[in-house]
Amino acid sequence: MSNFKGGWVGKILRVDLSSEKIKEQELSKDLAYEWIGGRGWAIKILWDELEPGTDPLGPDNKLIIATGPLTGTIVPSSGKVVVAAKSPLTGGYGDGNIGSHLGHMLKMSGYDAVIIEGRAKKPVYLWITPNGVEIKDASHLWGLSTFETEIALRRDHGNDIGSVIIGPAGENLVKFSVVITEYGRAGGRPGIGAVFGSKKLKAVVAHGWEDIPMADIDKAFSLSYEARRQLMSNPGYRKWIEQGTMMTIEWSQEASVLPTYNFTEGVFDYFMNIGGETMANKYKMLRKGCFSCMMPCGNLSVARFGKFERTWAELDYENVGMLGSNIGVGSMDEVIKLNRLADELGTDTISLGSVIAFAIDLYQRGIISTKQTDGLELKWGDIDTILTLIDKIVKREGFGKILAEGVKKAAERIGGEAPKYAIHVKGLEVSAYDCHAAPAMALSYGTSPIGAHHKDAWVISWEVKYGREKVDMTKVEKVIEFQRIRGGLFEFLTVCRLPWIELGLGLDYYVKLFNAITGLEQSLDNFFFIADKIYTLIRSFWVREFGGWSREYDYPPRKWFEVPLSKGPLAGMKLSKEIYDRLLDLYYDARGWDKSGIPKKSTLEKFGLTDVAEKLEKVGVKLQD
């Protein structure tokens, strides 16, 4: 019997791949009520269970796959699941949020979350149903692409499964490998795929059929019905389902923030070729969506011309910005090919685009030569050389082995001027928004809890309207407000945030739906308190792993400070370090962190994290009162 009236199903699955022991544990009320789900559970478990200094690719790292109380229910767009671990790319906390049928299949198998520890002796996958959990041999799947693997799993277990799968990149421990599902959904940018690979875990697969209880079904249904009607009557609905996030290409070009030639420029001459309009009118074949979503944003597109004709892939803004303009590729057919490869091989498109752009940038500036690149002449938009480079990265061959470490480590290895052109924060490559003239968005990247990702605070469109040049508390407050909502609420409820951010569904719906489904009485303010607590614990995790903190870790890429934009309406602009520092001071202050970015003792106490304070002090971190 579950401890809960609804939402949570009440059990956590723990699998030790070394000893092959499989255990069930009760989901405690504390964990459910205090940390809610998804990212909240991931950080709490990783903080409690990992020894400081754990090797991210060693058997002691733990993989967390976590749903939330609204995942897999009738809440709009609730087919999401969080995958998390200590990141091999950054050395800090890492997670991703993937649209996968795994979320509701896990819950319908009786589990809210899975903790995977140890390392298997040979390749395996996890097969989860209400009838039992098995560690199954995956020798026949090892080496296959994510697509081939999913086809094989569906052949063996039927079509009605949910999964997350790694490709050759994860197997070969490429530091920015992700998990993939449903032929084109990806998650876990900070190398969660490599953590799977290090455990010899090819996939996690579930098929469930049990009910997910809801405390007040009638209320939940009527709220969900209202929410869905509201979404579909939004004037932006039609364009959204036609283009999804791809419409951002045209916006970014206009706002001069489209990453181009390794963030050298914010505009791209061929942006129309790879834009949302071109995709919708010429290339899109099918609309794909996650579980329980009626605003499907998956743009399944097919190459029509040239040597990649008939290749298909799912396109999103980030994918196209980073594997298009940022590497100088101005052909949609080629962008589709590159995206397809990234999905099949299981690498993150953002980081892949960034490492390729970094290499070309260095080569073009004469910082590296054919001596370092295994004889390859690196040119912007040269598709054949780019394909060769990808092959080398995934196989970890020659120059590819250096790039497979991500731009930060590659730059350290190459040395000299190279770090100036490595576009990352804390080792995670920056997603597709140039911030030479966007200090608030730079702050958002700088303070994101997993390294430079836009998911926690995409403030750039707000900032462009509000005034790029302004430096004030409003900007800092906006970053924190977004972090609470996007990085907090949506990540612990573990549902898609796009109904809210793209089609304006009110946050009050999520609170009311949470209350109807769980039978509890929560308020938005309390959700925000929990979000801030999660942020503080994630920061503490980084501080513990790094043995202290320096504000420089929260700086955006050097290039934005040192190399001005060279083209477009914002040519000549660069970020001011002084302004950034001012914003960072305000940010730390608002979060209750000291001048170097470490949570103060009083802040930890406010969130009931006194044990965290003690542990930090034990490893030699000095905490301010």
Binding site for ligand SF4 (CB under 6 A): 77, 79, 99, 289-290, 293, 295-298, 496, 498
Give the closest residue to 351 by CA, choosing from 291, 238, 428. Answer: 428
- With CB under 6 A as the contact rule, the residue among 172, 319, 354, 536 that binds ligand PTT is 319
Distance CA 152, CA 580 (A): 50
Q: Contacts from 372-378 at CB under 8 Å and sequence distance 24+? A: 372/399, 372/414, 373/399, 374/398, 374/399
For the chain, count helices (H), then strands (E): 27, 17
Q: With residue 323 as reference, give the H or E element that holds it.
A: none
- With CB under 6 A as the contact rule, the residue among 117, 150, 333, 343 that binds ligand PTT is 343
In whole angstroms, how close is the CB of 292 to ligand SF4 at the nearest point?
Answer: 7
In whole angstroms, how close is the CB of 427 to ligand PTT at the nearest point?
Answer: 15
Q: With residue 520 as reference, give the H or E element that holds it.
A: none
In whole angstroms, how close is the CB of 494 to ligand PTT at the nearest point?
Answer: 7
Q: With residue 381 as reference, give the H or E element that holds it.
A: none
Distance CA 549, CA 32 (A): 30
Residue 298 or residue 597: which is nearer to ligand PTT going by CB? 298
In whole angstroms, how close is the CB of 174 to ligand SF4 at the nearest point?
Answer: 24
Distance CA 439, CA 446 (A): 10
Q: Look at the alpha carbons of 459, 465, 468, 469 in this order and tell me if their dihedral is positive or negative.
A: negative
In whole angstroms, how close is the CB of 294 to ligand SF4 at the nearest point?
Answer: 8
Q: Look at the alpha carbons of 220, 226, 227, 228 in this order and tell me if their dihedral is positive or negative.
A: positive
Residue 110 or residue 321: which is nearer to ligand SF4 going by CB? 321
Question: x-or-dash pattern for ligand PTT, window 275-314, by CB under 6 A?
Answer: ---------------------------------------x
Interface positions, 48-87, toward ligand PTT (CB under 6 A): 80
Interface positions, 468-507, toward ligand PTT (CB under 6 A): 490-491, 496-498
Q: Under the criterion CB under 6 A, does residue 316 sit at the interface with ligand PTT?
A: yes
**CB of 547 within 8 A of CB of 620?**
yes
Interface positions, 528-547, toward ligand PTT (CB under 6 A): none
In whole angstroms, how close is the CB of 133 to ligand PTT at the nearest point?
Answer: 24
- With CB under 6 A as the contact rule, the residue among 45, 186, 201, 423 that binds ligand PTT is 186
Distance CA 405, CA 400 (A): 9
- DSSP secondary structure string, 296-346? --EEEEE--SGGGTT-EEEE-HHHHHHTTGGGT---HHHHHHHHHHHHHHT
In whole angstroms, how close is the CB of 499 to ligand SF4 at the nearest point?
Answer: 7
Interface positions, 347-406, toward ligand PTT (CB under 6 A): 347-350
Q: Under the criterion CB under 6 A, does residue 557 sit at the interface with ligand PTT?
A: no
In whole angstroms, how close is the CB of 611 to ligand PTT at the nearest point?
Answer: 29
Q: Of 122-130, 177-185, 202-210, 384-392, which part binds ligand PTT (CB under 6 A)? A: 177-185
Give the closest residue to 359 by CA, choosing from 344, 346, 370. Answer: 370
**CB of 56 within 8 A of CB of 191?**
yes
Binding partner at 16 among ligand SF4, ligand PTT, none, C-beta below 5 to 8 Å by kind = none
Residue 185 or residue 468: which is nearer to ligand SF4 going by CB? 185
* DSSP assigned state of 347: B
Binding partner at 184 among ligand SF4, ligand PTT, none, C-beta below 5 to 8 Å by kind = ligand PTT
Residue 318 or residue 594: which is nearer to ligand PTT going by CB? 318
Residue 497 or residue 533: which is nearer to ligand PTT going by CB? 497
Contact residues for 342 (Cβ-Cβ < 8 A; gap 6+): 186, 319, 323, 348, 349, 352, 390
Distance CA 431, CA 602 (A): 34
In whole angstroms, how close is the CB of 242 to ligand PTT at the nearest point?
Answer: 15
- Residue 562 pairs with which residues in a beta bridge? none
**CB of 601 within 8 A of CB of 625?**
yes
Binding partner at 245 among ligand SF4, ligand PTT, none, C-beta below 5 to 8 Å by kind = ligand PTT
Residue 243 or residue 260: which is nearer to ligand SF4 going by CB? 243
In whole angstroms, how close is the CB of 99 to ligand SF4 at the nearest point?
Answer: 4
- With CB under 6 A as the contact rule, the residue among 99, 162, 168, 556 that binds ligand PTT is 99
Q: Which residues of 26-42 are buried (b: 16+ CB within 10 A; e: fewer)?
A: ebeeebbeebbbbbbbb
Distance CA 254, CA 612 (A): 46
Contact residues for 467 (Cβ-Cβ < 8 A; gap 6+): none
Binding partner at 293 among ligand SF4, ligand PTT, none, C-beta below 5 to 8 Å by kind = ligand SF4
In whole angstroms, how close is the CB of 336 to ligand PTT at the nearest point?
Answer: 11
How far CA 595 is from CA of 439, 579, 589, in Å, comes to 19, 15, 8
In whole angstroms, how close is the CB of 29 to ligand SF4 at the nearest point?
Answer: 29
Binding partner at 343 among ligand PTT, ligand SF4, none, C-beta below 5 to 8 Å by kind = ligand PTT
In whole angstroms, how close is the CB of 253 to ligand PTT at the nearest point?
Answer: 16
Q: Biggest alpha carbon distance in the chain?
A: 68
In whole angstroms, how close is the CB of 418 to ligand PTT at the nearest point?
Answer: 24
Instruction: Read off the tokens for 131.
Output: 């009838």
Binding partner at 314 among ligand SF4, ligand PTT, none, C-beta below 5 to 8 Å by kind = ligand PTT
Question: x-or-dash pattern for ligand PTT, window 238-257, by CB under 6 A?
Answer: -------x------------
Distance CA 381, CA 333 (A): 12
Residue 106 or residue 407: which is nearer to ligand SF4 going by CB? 106
Distance CA 407, CA 429 (A): 7
Distance CA 196, CA 17 (A): 11
Instruction: Read off the tokens for 564.
Output: 């001005």
- CA 251 and chain centroid, separation: 22
- With CB under 6 A as the contact rule, the residue among 39, 101, 104, 189 that binds ligand PTT is 189
Total number of residues binding ligand PTT (CB under 6 A)? Answer: 30
Distance CA 603, CA 609 (A): 8
* DSSP assigned state of 28: P
Binding partner at 386 among ligand PTT, ligand SF4, none, C-beta below 5 to 8 Å by kind = none
Q: Under the criterion CB under 6 A, does residue 344 sit at the interface with ligand PTT?
A: no
Binding partner at 189 among ligand SF4, ligand PTT, none, C-beta below 5 to 8 Å by kind = ligand PTT
Other Cβ atoms closer than 10 A to 500? 21
Binding partner at 289 among ligand PTT, ligand SF4, none, C-beta below 5 to 8 Å by kind = ligand SF4
Count of residues in the chain? 625
- Residues at the site binding ligand PTT, with contacts judged by CB under 6 A: 80, 96-99, 178, 184-189, 245, 314, 316-319, 342-343, 347-350, 455, 490-491, 496-498
